Chains A and B, each alone.
Chain A
Amino acid sequence: MNPVRALLNTIAVLLAALTLTLSGVAESRESAGPYRVGLTPVFLDNQTSFLRDWEEYLERRLDHPVDFLQRQTYREITELLLNGQLDAAWICGYPFVRHHDALRLLAVPLFEGEPLYRSYLIVPAADGETRSVADLKGRVFAYSDPDSNSGFLVPRVELRRQGYDPRRFFARTFFTWSHRDVVRAVADGVAQAGAVDGYVWETLSQTHPELTGATRVAWTSQPFGFPPLVARADLDRDRFSRLQGVLLEMPADPEGRRLLLRLNLDGFSPGGDGLFTGIAAAMDRFGEE
């Protein structure tokens, strides 16, 4: 083995050990540490200024430091959450259902008054024929994230339901790691169709109508539980309640309302696991993994 590589490996192992030690320390003093909340760009894209404002808002309301952590994918955020490196995270219903035992529902956003959203199948505006994902055999298809319900699970379950093997149905598939980029991929013509979070598409249609205008919603799924904010199951009860309380009360004060408006959300609800039975059923039916 290359001696340099060996040395690097040793350093990596040492660093990992150090990280684990530090996280252990942090855990033991968790009531004193800041709230660590994980976010992904899967539907919160290029919103650095908003996230800073929201962070400051939460800090003021909690009277406690809050750290927002961003990662590229749901998987990374979920890993961090399951490792205990995060207290809470905004993830998709699909990983929540998958890791139901280790996670606890913190708050479910209210979109158009309900804690629900749909998956949209979008095609380029020029495509006036596609009515269902089953019409897209041999095309290039864009998914958002492999851990996304609306951007991955829903179209695959739909294909399976209609008797196709989603692994061979398309000529080519790829992940954009963000719902917004699925819209872009379809609008630019890189993909001939894509699956996207209906909430993201609707929000974009207000802020970037030129982007959504180049696409057409060919099919919408049944409603699912909105991607929730979840906490790890072993989070300190008090911290959980305080965080949940602040989130649920956001619509009650003007600044909170302003922040919610920027998210195109109405508020948060405590939700219930029942919201995600649809996703759980889809996951069970999928059974390909």
Chain B
Amino acid sequence: MAFRNLSYRIRVPLSLSLAILLTGLVVALALTWRAAEDLRRDLFRNAVEVGTVLSNSLPAAIKHDDLWQAYQLLQAARTPGDERGERLFLVLDRDQRIYVSSQPNQYPVLSELRGQGPELARVEYAVRQGRTLEPYAVDQPENERIYVVLPMLDDGVAMGTLVIGYARTLFLPRFHGILTRVGWSALILMAVLLPIGWYLGDRMVRPLIQLANCLGRVGRQPLEQIQCTLHEGSDEIGQLGVRFHQMLHELEQKQRLETQMVAAERLAAVGRLAAGVAHEINNPLGGMLNAISTYRRHGSADPVAEKTFDLLERGLQQIRDTVSALLVEARASSHDLTPQDVDDVATLLRPDAQKRAVRLSLENGLTAPLPLPASPVRQVLINLSLNAVQATPAGGAVHCRIHPGEGRLAIEVDNEGETIPTERLRHLFEPFVHHNPAGHGLGLWVTYQIIQQLQGRIDVESQAGRTRFTVLLPVGQELAA
């Protein structure tokens, strides 16, 4: 059905308008019906008044069989409109024949009512049926006139009957006037009410439309781009708005969690692979280096071989460095982290910062030793700070904050380097991802591995020329193997 598929933006105002129209129509009909009733009552009153005036003299005229006097009485009761046939007076004798009428040419003396067409035949039937001596109306819709029947009494006996017929056209001008007035009133009322109704309907529906639009965007647009200002309140649509915002928030969280999980799993896989490869390489590597060492100890005369072994040894040493760098291991044997350890890091880094004309500030919130291995934590701090110093252009600032919280240690490192694109953020902690031509691409990998082993977590936010690394490390937990 077309109406069911119509937008509420149109459907609700339309329904309100229809209700207003219907109300207007019903009121107009009621008023018109009332006016018609009033007219009918007026007519009956007029007839009874005329009948009362005539009832004094007309029965006497009939009794004395003075037809001319009866006619003159009818003439006296006439008003100017009767010339146009608006009112018809018929005096019927006891046999319901016309004794005299106000229009004798058309309704002659002595003629039968039923001989004057079907309308008067119906009137005659009604008069014959009417047993009452009280006035009554004969109003049949097929008749051109409304008749009021007034028995003419003389000493309580009906001498005859006075029938007054009122042409329906008599009411038309009055009725038309009333209709026009009612019509105009209804039109004006509707002209006022319809825009109000339309406005109210539109207002009512607008939050729903907004909600529908927002819902429509879910799934088609990235969640973070969906910005909706919705009506929120305790009404139904307001509740929907609240729920929608909650849903959007939860969806975002879920998506972020999924992304993080995927990244963590990938990094874990890479870590396992790297560790595996490193172990496999380390054994033959150790053998090869031992072999070179043994060869040297036994001496050799061949300068060319000596040179070659040097070359080999250096290459193998480099392989070992790299491999050991991949095999990150947070040694639990380290001492607890003290405030001094953190201050040392600042001392270590300052020359680098000065060289690059970067302001380095370190906020050390530690006041007492923490049960965390000092070496890996220091390495994390150094790695992140160094990266920050390197990422910051000259004249910029790097800010580090170390502050212990409830059961954890938080490290924040801010730099003012350029924003890291989202795509790069995704692979930031993977090994050999070179963003900095000066580094070997393992700094953040190592940092990540250390934090993983300390069962902490690291987050990066990078936006509007500011990048912040946040590390949270649990305090007082057994380290993972």
Closest to A214 in B: B105
List the A side residues contacting B177 at CB < 8 Å.
none
Question: What secondary structure prevails in chain A residues at the interface with B?
Answer: mixed
- Complex CA gap A171/B99 in Å reads 12
Query: Is B374 interfacial (CB 8 A cutoff)?
Result: no
- Say yes or no: A140 contacts B68, CB within 8 Å: no
B109 adjacent to A172 (CB under 8 Å): yes
Q: Is the CB of A190 within 8 A of B110?
A: no
A177 interface residue, CB < 8 Å from B? yes
Interface pairs (17), CB distance under 8 Å: A140-B108, A171-B110, A172-B67, A172-B109, A172-B110, A174-B65, A174-B66, A174-B67, A174-B68, A175-B66, A176-B68, A177-B68, A188-B71, A189-B103, A189-B108, A190-B68, A190-B100
Please pick, from B68, B100, B105, the residue contacting A181 in the complex, using a CB distance under 8 A. Answer: B68
A-contacting residues of B (Cβ < 8 Å)? 65-68, 71, 100, 103-106, 108-110
The reply to whether B68 and A175 form a contact with Cβ atoms under 8 Å apart is yes
CB distance from A39 to the nearest CB of B (A): 20
Number of interface residues of A (CB under 8 A): 16
Distance in angstroms between the alpha carbons of A190 and B110 in the assembled complex: 10
CB 8 Å contact bits of A156-196 with B (1 = contact, 0 = none)? 00000000000000011011110001000100111110000
Q: A171, A181, A189: which contacts B104 (Cβ < 8 A)?
A: A189
- By secondary structure, the B interface counts as loop
Kindly list chain A residues whose C-beta atoms are within 8 Å of the C-beta of B103: 189
Q: Does A133 contact B (CB under 8 A)?
A: no
Q: Is A140 a contact of B109 with CB atoms below 8 Å?
A: yes
Contacting residues, chain B, for A175 (C-beta < 8 A): 66, 68
| A142-B68 contact given A171-B110, A190-B100, CB 8 Å threshold | yes
Contact check, A192 vs B67: say whether CB atoms are below 8 A apart: no
Interface residues, chain A, CB within 8 Å of chain B? 124, 140, 142, 171-172, 174-177, 181, 185, 188-192
Interface centre among A174, A177, A181, A188 (most CB of B within 10 A): A174
Residues in A with CB closer than 8 Å to B65 are 174
State in angstroms the CA–CA spacing of A185 and B66 once bound together.
Answer: 13
- Inter-chain contacts of B110 with A (CB < 8 A): 140, 171-172
Chain B residue with Cβ nearest A171: B110
Q: Which B residues are in CB contact (< 8 Å) with A176?
A: 68
CA distance A176 to B100 in the complex (A): 14
* Beta-carbon contact of A188 and B68 below 8 Å: no
Return the chain B residue nearest A181 by Cβ. B68
With both chains docked as a complex, state the minimum distance between the C-beta of A119 and any C-beta of chain B, in angstroms: 19
CB closest residue in chain A, given B67:
A174
Per the bound structure, the CA–CA distance linking A177 and B65 in Å amounts to 14
Max count, chain B CB within 10 A of own CB: residue among A124, A176, A192: A176
